[in-house]
Amino acid sequence: MRTRMNFGLFRDKPGPRNGRSVAIAGAGPSGLSAAGYLACRGYAVTVYDKMPKPGGLLYFGIPDFRLPVERTEAAAELLAANYGVAFRMRTKIVGQPGEARDEGDEFRTEELLLTDLRAAHDAVILCTGSWRSRRMGIPGEELPEVLSGLEYLFPLRGAVCGPEACVSPALGRKVVVIGGGLSAMDAAQCALRSGAERVTMLYRRTIDEAPAGPYEIGLLQDCGMIWKELAMPLRILGREHVEGVEFLQCALGEPDESGRRCPLPQDGSNQILEADMVISAVGELPTLPLAERLEVSKVRKGASPWPRMTMMEGVFVAGDALTGPSKIGWAITGGLEAARSLEQWLNHTQGGR
Amino acid sequence: MANDNPVGAQRTKWVDYSRCIGCESCEAICKFLYGLPRIQMTESDEGLAFPLYCHHCEHPMCAKACPVGAIEKDEATGAVYHDPARCRGCKAMKCMQACPFGAIYHAGGVVPVTKCDLCRDRARVGLGPACMEICPCEAIHFVTREELLNLKTREASTAQKLVMKQIRQMRGQK
């Protein structure tokens, strides 16, 4: 018997309408969880997302040898068909027109102001994720064959999303992946599968500190990936195209604020690695419209006026937009908790309809 | 119900560890619904993350170990239920030690332990186990023991062995 993924798992059909409407920005796991919960509680739910398909990173960030992409697709379809959730794709919620660009923005055809969205609904949940790639800040990063983890992984869904999805030729022969997290692993595995001659991963600490852990890294080494630890990139070499990566060998120092021992680059240990493509998967930062007004750090500290509500009244936040990149499970918890908190807030302020 | 093999027709939960990516969605939904999750993540030293869960065994060791009969197998559905009304003040927590899958959890309250009941309240209104519905990788199945035989691929068995080795280590066995 085949099972299906169902974000509206609380009931077999939507709850009796309660007359309230909620907008959710972001159709990733936290947004879809919140949508499913609220639809089951009788809310009219509209989900906005800048990408052409719902699913967020489940669809666009995680390769389908890890997650069956049709399962995510079917889950969103089920929310629409069975639970009455409305989806507005290719629509980005922004603080003001022409805000800073994030990864994936090229897919949007429409922008809506958060203030307008708030005015049109009883409440809003922002599940806008972490779509700004952290940069290494080293020379040569602007070369065309240097891609972020997300930039590299997007084109792999290109076939289903139309020609604009193929922002870069996702092919390199000698690929260097920088990072030690799960996106770095996904990128390395995709590179191996797309026929790269040699895939090397550079990480500045050791395998024991790597967020992906020795188990995942071991699996990739079994597939032929070369693991170079204690390697800190210094510059990317090449005039018009990537020709190599220069890095310094490090030693481990005292634990830093993350609790992991920090890498100390050793003078004169410069080495050069030949490369024609570099994938920098060194993390992503939360992307929120009107970030300075929302003051999400207060939500993180539990210092917000209502649990999971931002400093903008009736605007809630959940998922990677709140926590930074994390596990799908945390995003689901966040979406559900924000939805429940929103419901309690509306009951409180509107007198429990 | 007419069936030659009533045990084979009982439905149980099964996790295909070869498909699991350790994303914690199962634990998240269980926690949201029940406060204390009844399917819980653990991680090996090497960083292999996987959920521990009740297999609703045919011959449940936890039921046998419980001194007050608070854990029973429902022969009609095959589910192994824990009765919090009967489970009181036991300091030995023999059920936790007895479970080979590490699937009985410390609750730390008046009722000292908790375990999966295959979402009994949801089943009453025709809904399946929540963890199965939220799993993004189609790793969690709710199937009859007969159907289960077809799901056990070679990859699944290999992954299962790895996980069992880890569970034995955690339980301090070789």
Total number of domains in chain A:
2
| A239 within some domain | yes
Distance separating the N- and C-terminal Cα atoms of chain B: 43
| A7 within some domain | no
- CATH, domain range B11-170: 3.30.70.20
User: What digits encode the pLDDT tens for the residues B99-117?
Assistant: 999 999 988 888 889 999 9
User: What digits encode the pLDDT tens for the residues B33-85?
Assistant: 999 999 999 988 788 899 999 999 999 999 999 999 999 999 888 999 999 99
Cβ contacts of residue A31 below 8 Å, gap of 6+?
A: A24, A25, A47, A49, A56, A125, A127, A318, A319, A335
Closest CA to A219 of A251, A253, A192: A192
- CB-CB contact of A13 with B140 (8 Å): no
Q: Cβ atoms within 10 A of the Cβ of B111, count?
A: 17
- CB-CB contact of B135 with B15 (8 Å): no
The mean predicted confidence, pLDDT, of chain B is 91
Alpha carbons A88 and A48: distance in angstroms, whole number: 5
* B49 DSSP β-pair partners: B43
CATH number of the CATH domain containing A242 = 3.50.50.60
Q: Is A4 on the interface with B (CB under 8 A)?
A: yes
Q: Judge: B136–A218 Cβ closer than 8 Å, yes or no.
A: no
pLDDT at A203: 97
Residues in chain A closer than 8 A to B41 (CB atoms) = 329
| A341 within some domain | yes
Domain that holds residue A245: 135-280
| A1 within some domain | no
User: Which of A33, A37, A83, A332 would best serve as a mutation to test chain B binding (most B beta carbons within 10 A)?
Assistant: A332
User: What digits encode the pLDDT tens for the residues A230-270?
Assistant: 999 999 999 999 999 999 999 999 998 888 899 999 999 99
pLDDT above 90 coverage of chain A, percent: 80
Three-state SS annotation for B41-64 = EEECCCCCEEEECCCCCCCCHHHH
Which of A256, A280, A304 finishes a domain?
A: A280
Residues in chain B closer than 8 A to A6 (CB atoms) = 133-134
Q: Is A1 on the interface with B (CB under 8 A)?
A: yes
Alpha carbons A123 and A236: distance in angstroms, whole number: 46
**Which class for A169: exposed (0-12), middle (13-18), buried (19 or more C-beta within 10 A)?**
exposed
Q: Which residue has the tokens 């649990």?
A: A307
Q: pLDDT class for A166, splitting at 50, 70, 90? A: very low
Q: How far is B124 from chain A (nearest CA, A)?
A: 12
User: What digits encode the pLDDT tens for the residues A82-99?
Assistant: 999 999 999 999 999 877
Cβ contacts of residue A333 below 8 Å, gap of 6+?
A: B28, B31, B32
User: Which of A13, A59, A182, A327 would best serve as a mutation to test chain B binding (most B beta carbons within 10 A)?
Assistant: A327
Any idea where the domains of chain B sit in the sequence?
11-170
Alpha carbons B80 and B73: distance in angstroms, whole number: 4
Q: Judge: A1–B47 Cβ closer than 8 Å, yes or no.
A: no
| A264 within some domain | yes
| A191 within some domain | yes
Which of A280, A295, A313 finishes a domain?
A: A280
Does the structure show a pLDDT above 80 at B173? no
pLDDT at B1: 43
Does the structure show a pLDDT above 90 at B93? no
Same-domain pairing of A276 and A293: no
User: Which positions in chain B have a beta carbon within 8 angstroms of at least one beta carbon in chain A?
Assistant: 21-29, 31-32, 41, 43-44, 46-48, 125-128, 130, 132-138, 140-143, 147
Q: Cβ atoms within 10 A of the Cβ of B112, count?
A: 20
pLDDT at A66: 87
pLDDT at B91: 76
| A15 within some domain | no
Does the structure show a pLDDT above 90 at A120? yes
Same-domain pairing of A183 and A161: yes
Same-domain pairing of A171 and A109: no
What mean pLDDT is predicted for residues A288-294?
94
| A16 within some domain | no
Q: Which residue has the tokens 């995942």?
A: A216
Same-domain pairing of A46 and A171: no
Q: pLDDT class for A158, splitting at 50, 70, 90? A: low
Highest mean pLDDT among A123-127, B76-80, B123-127: A123-127
Q: Judge: B26–A212 Cβ closer than 8 Å, yes or no.
A: no
Which of A221, A248, A280 finishes a domain?
A: A280
Same-domain pairing of A114 and A158: no
Same-domain pairing of A183 and A124: no
Does the structure show a pLDDT above 50 at A50? yes
AA letter at A202: L
**DSSP-derived pairing of the beta strands A132-133 and A271-274:** unpaired
